[in-house]
Structure 1
């Protein structure tokens, strides 16, 4: 590449200096194109999802992922059906279990990838766009703009690879530890399912009969699906909060440049290794960003708290080890279980276990004060939902009357469709 006129003696004016030899850039671009061409297309979005899925599947297959045996499948289907019957006694929300299934870890990856794509694409798009725009926004001289095009394209490819690798590793790690389709507290699948491998891993070290463990976990799975299937605004509310949060994601350009300094960019595998990880994801500390994060965090805590409340009520008189199993689940969450770690990696969100306990306490108090009908009617509309402040002071919410009048919302109205998911959720 010929130096730009009048700039031969000023290497600092070279916008590509940090990337080294131009021939290496060209070689790297060709190799990146080869790596991505097999599965990426212009319509594929910001992430190479085939690559992400392959990374996730490799992570579970490497440690062993046997197919579900017929006996295991039958035990899980029976447990989910029985658990669903028990829940009829403790909640007014209808059943969400229609065709229960038993999955291997690889099947869990396949079945949940569509929702992971919906969750992660907004964040990935923001990150890839920022990486691609780094040079474009740097005020290149006009004569350099044409040359910058291929490099910006390469940066976008690098961003897609980086995010795809990160997502694949996160999902693969989660798949080795989940017990069902709802461990992260989000509607990852419309199908209620449990994983025999996940149940076995959860059971290690517990001196509890296996059928009790299976039934307790089936209760949790079935309870999640009652919420996700019969609270029409909840899905849009949760996914909308993730998308809103994603708008504040940016890239730490200085960290990116530091990682690229001295890197042999003719080695795409080395670039992928160096750029893997979440340290380049830097959420902006704006009020809008904090509000979206708080809204998502509170909603997830309320979902988890309700599930814990109804499951404990359903299991109390039927499973001798219900209290011990409930505490095991709470401890698992408090020590940073798979859901928390995956959210920290993919979304930048770390669930606060303190909020989960407080949410469960609020739901229990609400049921004691207003009964099961009054407790579950709160899910009728996002404007009725407790806020973060209510978790700090639940007595006011539980005993409130004028601000908690359900009579006007007994019948679904124009504000209860999916668009209400964009609302703040305050009264």
Structure 2
């Protein structure tokens, strides 16, 4: 069996993208001219957001972002881009799995299993495809056959942005610029720290080493967790699944926990930093920003029971906490040593905060001298 031929078959990436496209809810009804206007508006406002990101962050990378591109996409295109990103991130994991289970995974079994996992991944992406407003995607450029620029691409999901601005009944131009400020900040982060993409991939690879090495134990934990969920009535329960997401709570090995802790700190930093940029924008830039913040935050608090359950299962509520925790960290550091002092965080991997330092900014400041 050729490991490099079998491993990619463990997840049918094309089926995942096709399934997500088929299952994604329809977007808002737009006349052709409305759709064209929304696309043109988002492209224009994405460009307009960059000088504000530069002014607030002081990051020189914001002055020249030609190493990546901005794409205004629909839900299906967003899902396809993410299957490409997952293919890059999970490639080493799948290869290791095939190497460890070589006697158990035949090519035909890989293809059959790949169809199942591809469909399952597509269903998850379909659920997410109408939630995401934008995303900086740095990994798809490394996928086989990708035409993305080497540094990645910024995706703005037009149907979702239009749908939310209508639900909130806010000024479209203001809301679109507000969204672009957050997403362009992520693009600037990776441009300022060109080592960041490979560093995250290395952390994922280290985590996969541990997971593959403890596969039997992990399966036992997964079975126990599934039984716990099955036997436990969750309707109306404030915390039906573990607070960090069922997947993360399966990790018990110290090396697994350390890898997840480091990745959590990185994500908290990136999301919190982008939130700080958004919060630094006042009415002089986005006239209705106060209304947008109030209505957007209120919307996030009014999810249905089923959606809340799925979000917890996928760990999405943990991601929302990353916005808050990371923003507190960034603000605290900037208050103590200024934005220039904070920006040394992008110089090298050793300058990244630990998860403990995210909650104790003074410890990071002390470590940085």
Q: CA deviation at 1:219?
A: 0.5
Alpha-carbon displacement from aligned partner over 1:97-141 (angstroms, at most 9, x marks no partner): 4443321222223334321211233445566667x56xx5xxxxx
TM-score, normalised by the number of residues in structure 2 = 0.72
**RMSD over aligned Cα, in angstroms?**
3.9
CA contact (8 A) 1:252 1:282 kept: no
2:135 alignment partner, SS class:
coil
CA distance in 2, matches of 1:209, 1:181: 22
2:161 is matched with which residue? 199
CA contact (8 A) 1:47 1:121 kept: no
- Aligned CA distance change for structure 1 residues 287 and 394 (closer, same or farther; 3 Å): same
Number of matched residues? 321
Map 1:307-318 → 2, pairs under 5 A: 307-315=274-282, 317-318=284-285
CA distance in 2, matches of 1:41, 1:329: 46
1:379 is matched with which residue? 346
Map 1:24-423 → 2, pairs under 5 A: 42=6, 44-60=8-24, 63=26, 69-93=35-59, 94-95=61-62, 97-98=65-66, 99-125=69-95, 153-182=107-136, 190-247=152-209, 248=211, 250=215, 252=219, 283-315=250-282, 317-326=284-293, 345=314, 351-398=318-365, 400=366, 403-405=367-369
CA contact (8 A) 2:329 2:360 kept: no
Q: CA deviation at 1:208?
A: 1.9
Q: CA deviation at 1:201?
A: 2.7
Q: CA deviation at 1:172?
A: 2.3
- Aligned CA distance change for structure 1 residues 292 and 53 (closer, same or farther; 3 Å): same
CA contact (8 A) 2:70 2:155 kept: yes
Q: Which moved more, 1:217-226 or 1:108-117?
A: 108-117
Considering fraction of residues, name the structure with more helix.
2
CA distance in 1, matches of 2:109, 2:265: 36
CA distance in 1, matches of 2:44, 2:336: 34
CA distance in 2, matches of 1:288, 1:349: 23
CA contact (8 A) 1:170 1:342 kept: no
Alpha-carbon displacement from aligned partner over 1:214-272 (angstroms, at most 9, x marks no partner): 1100111111100112212211222222232233153637989xx9xxxxxxxxxxxxx
1:320 alignment partner, SS class:
coil
Greater C-alpha radius of gyration: 1
CA distance in 1, matches of 2:316, 2:206: 13
CA contact (8 A) 2:168 2:295 kept: no
Q: Which moved more, 1:240-249 or 1:74-83?
A: 240-249
TM-score, normalised by the number of residues in structure 1 = 0.63
1:205 alignment partner, SS class:
helix
CA distance in 1, matches of 2:248, 2:195: 29
Q: Which runs of 5+ in 2 are unaligned?
A: 142-151, 227-244
CA contact (8 A) 2:42 2:176 kept: yes
- Aligned CA distance change for structure 1 residues 77 and 365 (closer, same or farther; 3 Å): same
Alpha-carbon displacement from aligned partner over 1:72-104 (angstroms, at most 9, x marks no partner): 221111111111122221112222644433212
Q: CA deviation at 1:69?
A: 3.5
CA distance in 2, matches of 1:86, 1:313: 10
CA distance in 1, matches of 2:247, 2:49: 43
